[in-house]
């Protein structure tokens, strides 16, 4: 079993699609926070680049993130976000101190 880890997801909206992307991201918060193994799932917006959003996440283990990745709400998000998302990047981080 893997150890807990953090994730930073960076999501950038296509021009003119900032509000639509924010709405989609907000829709992920409650169902994800109820998932087994989700320890943190918080949405942030860049102050200088408001089209850029960050999801700060903490997962109990690899299995919890894998289950999240296959969840119905993430599958729905992916289908809808294809129209409004310009860039997506996911970074897995190990907490050091």
- Over the stretch 28-77, which tens digit does the pLDDT of each residue have? 999 999 999 999 999 999 999 999 999 999 999 999 999 999 999 999 99
Alpha carbons 50 and 37: distance in angstroms, whole number? 30
* DSSP notation for 42-94: EEEE-SS-TTEEEEEEEESSHHHHHHHHHSHHHHHHHHHHTTTEEEEEEEEE-
pLDDT of residue 95: 82
Bridge partners, 84 (sequence order): none
pLDDT of residue 39: 97
Can you give the residue ranges of every domain in the chain? 5-93
CATH topology of domain 5-93: Alpha-Beta Plaits (3.30.70)
pLDDT beyond 90 at 83? yes
pLDDT of residue 1: 56
């Amino acid at each position: 079993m893997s150890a807990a880890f953090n994730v930073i997801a960076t999501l950038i909206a296509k021009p003119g699609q900032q509000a639509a992307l924010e709405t989609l991201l907000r829709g992920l918060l409650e169902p994800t926070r109820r998932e087994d193994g989700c320890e943190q799932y918080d949405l942030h917006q860049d102050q200088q680049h408001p089209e850029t959003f960050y999801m700060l996440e903490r997962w109990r283990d690899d299995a919890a993130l894998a289950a999240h990745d296959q969840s119905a709400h993430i599958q729905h998000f992916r289908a809808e976000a294809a129209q409004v998302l310009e860039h997506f990047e996911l970074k897995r981080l190990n907490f050091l101190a």
